[in-house]
Structure 1
Amino acid sequence: MAYEAEEVRLSQEIFCYLLEHHELREAESRELYRAYTESEPVQEMVKSQGRIAASSVKRYGDVVYLIPEAGNHFLGYSRAHLKRELCRSNATDRDYYLAQFAILVLLIEFYDGQGTSSKTREYIRVGELQNAISARLKEGAGLAAEEQEAQGLSYQDMLEAYESLRSDDRGTRQRTTKEGFLYTVLRFLQAQGLIEYVEQDEMVKTRRKLDHFMDWNLLNENNHSRVLKVLGVESDEQDPRGAADQHQLQP
């Protein structure tokens, strides 16, 4: 298929914009947004450039996102980099998995709905989130060892890592405390534009970017069931988002 020179130029400009900003909104760049949404050749070339860069380009609602694939360390994070960002110094794998588990608990606390939107609450207090993490870890540690192995997780290891952190209610930010550990995780998610962490109120709210990802990508039927299984949540109802929402993934 032959492309016009202007189409090629626009696709390159859009992809460079996505590399810099990670998302494209009409309110912030009307010309580029309309070029992507209204021109099939431009859209296809942008997606092709994304595939070459081991990423996908998707439009959720009125925002176009550049989403790195797993293992894309150029546009995303390597495991070693994430460990440095989320964990205390000299962290082990169990510390890294604990940080990932804390993020999973936060997601399930916000997104456990089965209707048009999976979001079930507007905010959560940090203390409530901390209690939820502790409760989930203890529940998981009570599972039989073979069941944990089947899930690919060792709750006991993560629980030991969590309990090795000191408790300090003086507002410390040290990563060797439970409060500092959670503070580090929340600040990282805020830096990614996924949540709003209101420190003075000890409150966490989700941002539109995370709402989009959860409703239209992460919480399709298969991924939603997997997250619930990891956290030990049983569901007797099929998620109505299911296959029908797969069509919403296409811009």
Structure 2
Amino acid sequence: MAYEIEDIRTSQEIFYYLLEHHEMSEEAQERLFRGYAENERIQNLVKSQGEAAECDIERYGDVVYLIPREDNTFLGFSKAQLKQLLCKSGGTDKDYYLSQFVILTLLVEFYDGQGATSKTRDYMRVGELQNCVSGRLREGAERAEEDGEEGASGGGGHSGGERLGLAFSNMIEAYEALRSDERGSRARTTKEGFLYNILNFLQKQGLIEYVEEDEMIKTTKKLDQFMDWNLLNQNHFQRVRRILEGGSVH
């Protein structure tokens, strides 16, 4: 397929804009958005540039997103970077996996993977999230103990190579090592501060709105679209459910 110089130039404009902003809406950039949405040649060129940069370029409704792939630590985050951002100073893998468990719990509480849209609620309180995390950790640990199995994420074996879950005992250990502070401490060494930093991180990524004065969490259009269009189909949802319940991921 031969490309005209104008198509190439427009595709470069679009890709540069996506590198800078990670998303491009029709409202903010109507000319570039229409160029991408209505011209297959331009769309192919932008996707090709994304491929070279280890990113996926996806359009969800009236927004085009640049999504770094899992191993893309240049445009995304490495495990070490996330550990530094989300966990207490000197945080271990146990703390890191606990932070990811908190995020998974939040997603499952907002989305259930059913119907035309996976979203089932408009908001939740921080205290409710904390209770959900505590409850799911306890339930998962009880199931893991009954099964006599530990997950692959933080130590312990698995039978026959067929079951891989989460190391609930390790995450509970990390969670219980965090102090409780009813005054709403922001220190990452407290349960409240640990959640606070995770919520602030998600807000900076444009995934949630965290209203501190009301201790309220709302999801953004960006996260809703990711869940409905890309991240959460029924198979993914059931897999996340099994993981949170301490079961097999297969």
What is the TM-score normalised by the length of structure 1?
A: 0.91
What SS does the corresponding residue of 1:88 show, helix, strand or coil?
Answer: coil
SS in structure 2 at match of 1:67: strand
> Which whole-Å CA distance do the structure 2 matches of 1:113 and 1:58 have between them?
20
Alpha-carbon contact 2:10-2:32 (below 8 Å) kept: yes
Provide runs of 4+ in structure 1 moved above 3 Å: none
Report the equivalent of 1:231: 244
Could you tell me how far apart the structure 2 residues matched to 1:2 and 1:221 are?
40
Deviation sequence 1:127-146 (CA, Å, 0-9, x none):
00000000000001112232
- Amino acid across the alignment from 1:212: Q
CA contact (8 A) 2:209 2:219 kept: yes
1:81 aligns with 81
* Larger displacement relative to structure 2 (145-154 or 74-83): 145-154
Q: Give unmatched runs, 5+ long, in structure 2.
A: 152-157
Distance 2:7 2:113 in 1: 41
Aligned to 2:10: 10
Please tell me the root mean square deviation across aligned C-alpha atoms, in Å: 1.3
- Distance of 1:204 and 1:145 partners within structure 2: 36
Following superposition of structure 1 onto structure 2, how do residues 61-72 of structure 1 map, counting pairs within 5 Å? Answer: 61-72=61-72
Task: State how far apart, in whole Å, the 2-side matches of 1:77 and 1:43 are.
Answer: 26
1:172: which partner in 2? 185
The answer for the alignment partner of 1:145 in structure 2 is 148
Equivalent-residue separation in structure 1 for 2:61 and 2:29 (angstroms) = 16
Distance 2:15 2:30 in 1: 15
3-state SS, counterpart of residue 149 of structure 2: helix
Is 2:38 aligned against 1:38?
A: yes
Contact 2:140 2:246 in 1 (8 A): no
Once the 2 structures are TM-superposed, how far is the Cα of residue 233 of structure 1 from its aligned partner? Answer: 8.5
Matches within 5 A, 1:107-186: 107-143=107-143, 144-146=147-149, 148=151, 149=158, 150-186=163-199
Please list the CA deviations of residues 171-225 of structure 1 after superposition, one character each: whole Å capped at 9, or x if unmatched: 2100000000000000000000000000000000000000001111111233222
Corresponding position of 2:99? 99
Q: CA deviation at 1:113?
A: 4.5
Find the partner of 2:215 among 189, 192, 202: 202
> Residue 235 of structure 2 aligns with which residue?
222
Match of 1:190 in 2: 203
Which amino acid in structure 2 is aligned with residue 41 of structure 1? R
Change (3 A) 1:233 1:78: closer
Separation in 1, partners of 2:239, 2:166 = 13
Runs of 5+ in structure 1 lacking a partner? 235-251
Q: 2 CA distance for matches of 1:63 and 1:229?
A: 32
Q: Secondary structure at the match of 1:151?
A: coil
Aligned to 2:225: 212
What TM-score do you get using the length of structure 2 for normalisation? 0.91
In structure 2, how many angstroms separate the alpha carbons of the residues matched to 1:233 and 1:100? Answer: 15
